Amino acid sequence: MDEPVDPAPSDSRWGASRVHLILLMALEVLMAAELLALASRFRLLPAFATLALMAVIGAPVLFRHKLSVTIPSEIQIFATLFIFATLFLGEIQDFYARFWWWDLALHGTSGVLLGLFGFLFVYLVNENELVDVSMKPSFVALFAFFFAVGTGVVWEIFEFSMDQIFDMSMQKPMLGDPSGLTDTMWDLIVDTAGAALMAGLGYLYMRRAHRERSDHWLRRFVDRHPHFFKR
């Protein structure tokens, strides 16, 4: 008996994967050039951080065959750009000091990204036949919101701990306040705003998808991994 053949991926899926691959290669080349420049100036700590960042960004592609879950390319693109902007541009290229709005923009983006992850997590639990629950879009949106805000709070605690224990400067002076408190509060405010935006858009999206019974990317993710949701 012939083995069933999986349907060919859609053009949009292949398109997103191709964009992710091209983006990844471009960022890796850029960071490799920076790595050589840092090594030539014997700036070993930034060079090591750049090398570690290259490994983190490239790992999902290099080891994709060993992963039990295929992460949607759209999420990988978003996460790759966010990590690059936060660690490489922000810390290594010192964009946090060069552009006062860089930290706020990234925290707002992190709120949206974490809210998206919260939606994905609850949606997968909701679709899993081993878990006998059925959650309304309003609950999913509420969970995604508090998941994103809670993660932002944990990150601010981490920054405070690093500054206190290792005398780092992760909490930076802002608006004339050298203590870092103003920086922390604005980070939490924009985290919350990004999470609220994602929660609101996700709620409207799920309501519309349920009402019209239309296909959407969360449903396609579940369909690609049916073994997670059946006995």
Q: What is the pLDDT of residues 186-199, one digit of tens each?
A: 999 999 999 999 89
The half-sphere exposure of 184 on its side-chain side, counting CA atoms within 13 A, is 17
- Which of 54-58, 88-92, 203-207, 226-230 bottoms out in mean pLDDT, i.e. has the lowest? 226-230
What's the pLDDT at 42? 78
What's the pLDDT at 114? 86
State pTM to two decimals: 0.65
Provide long-range contacts, Cβ within 8 A and 24+ apart, for 30-38. 31/88, 34/88, 34/92, 34/93
Residue pLDDT, tens place only, 88-103 = 888 778 888 888 888 8
* Six token digits for residue 129: 């036949």
